[in-house]
Amino acid sequence: MRWMVVLAFMPAFTAIAASAGLPTEAPPGAKVGISELTTAQVVEKNVAARGGAEAWAKIQTMVWIGHMQSAHAPVPIMTFVMDQKRPNKTRFEIDAMGQKTVRVFDGAHGWKVQPNRAGGPDTKPYTPQEVTFAFRAQLIDGPLIDYQAKGNVAALEGIDEVEGRKAFRLKVQLASGETDHVWIDAQTFLDIKYERPSYGPARTPSTVTIFYRGYKTVEGLRIPAVIETASASGQTPDRMVIERVALNPPLDDRIFTQPGAHARRSGTASQAPPGRGFGRIPATPPTAPAAQAGPTPQDAPARQPAPAPQAAPGADSGTK
């Protein structure tokens, strides 16, 4: 997740919390229940549950390898590799039965590569809307870790029930101006649900809803094993199943440049750029969908639903 460094939002955050009728601090020595936690306390517990701000700050690159499950695609299971590099570079490569689709963002410009009818690559630049979305995307550590330094403003709006579990609903105003919502599990303090605005080709507004499930620990950091994107009512959601995670692998900057540009300049045949320091996409996709599970027992002591992104990393849970 990417973040801009701006340090002037604490006064605004305090004003929002006060205008919402939420406490800005607990009385000294008072026992704090989940209904009495402040915005700052919820964020602090969330950051700690996910592994801590200091540990996340050490992560400069991250690679996810896994598979996508979609009932809406010609191929229901597709393997993927997702490369992320601070401050805001991404490469997302999907392999569907040997047909590769690639999306690359270098921090300012983006490109998408799809097979054409002749079987060769068809490269197109990102649309202005895709560039805006890529630039705003919260990569690596998300919108809440060091949110004030990133220029984000968080405000606790209330407590909801998400899939049978109590969750804090936070409104997050990103430095870009976008307003998102994140739900934090009241027991595990991990992210379990995320909502952000989206717009169709005709600028029709809509909301993207994401659930984070089955958190696992990777070198002390809590990372969801499943990221599920809700579809229209009654449709099967799309699922990203993260099977392997690499922290700080070497990633050459050239993998985030325009696909094929380096090969054309050097006069060589197109080939995979260097710097993919963590394995490759599996040769064949899994034969059966993996990680259909919800949270692990330590994540969900009350029941076994599926907690969330984006969902790995207590408090008093006396409020019903």
Is the previous residue joined to 273 through a cis bond, with omega within 30 degrees of 0? no
Provide the mean pLDDT of the chain. Answer: 76
| pLDDT at 136 > cutoff 90 | no
Handedness of CA 59, 246, 152, 191 (dihedral sign): negative
Q: Where are the domains of the chain?
A: 10-27+34-266
Burial letters for 212-224: b for 16+ Cβ neighbours within 10 Å, e otherwise?
bbbbbebeebbbb
269-295 pLDDT, tens digit per residue, is 344 444 554 444 333 334 333 333 344
| Average confidence (pLDDT) over 234-257 | 93
28-61 pLDDT, tens digit per residue, is 443 446 678 999 999 999 999 999 999 999 999 9
Q: Coil, helix or strand for 242?
A: strand
Rounded Cα–Cα distance for residues 42 and 46 (Å): 6
The confidence score (pLDDT) of residue 6 equals 23
Which has more confidence, 46 or 176? 46
Q: Coil, helix or strand for 33?
A: strand
- Maximum average pLDDT range among 10-14, 95-99, 214-218, 231-235: 214-218
Residue 9 phi, psi (nearest 5)? -105, 0
Q: Coil, helix or strand for 261?
A: helix
Rounded Cα–Cα distance for residues 181 and 189 (Å): 15
| pTM score, whole prediction | 0.71
Across 203-314, where does the E strand assignment appear?
Answer: 205-218, 221-229, 238-247
The confidence score (pLDDT) of residue 8 equals 24
Per-residue pLDDT band at 135 (split at 50, 70, 90): confident
HEC secondary structure over 139-179: CCCCCCCCCCCECCEEEEEEEEEECCEEEEEEEEECCCCCE
| pLDDT at 245 > cutoff 70 | yes
Residue/partner pairs of 174-178 with CB below 8 Å, 24 or more apart: 174/136, 174/138, 174/143, 175/3, 175/4, 175/6, 175/150, 175/151, 176/132, 176/135, 176/136, 178/136
Per-residue pLDDT band at 232 (split at 50, 70, 90): low
Q: Is the distance from CB of 150 to CB of 13 less than 8 angstroms?
A: no
The yes or no reply on domain 10-27+34-266 and CATH 3.40.640.10 is no
Q: Count of CB atoms within 10 A of residue 241's CB?
A: 23
Rounded Cα–Cα distance for residues 44 and 144 (Å): 9
Q: Count of CB atoms within 10 A of residue 24's CB?
A: 12
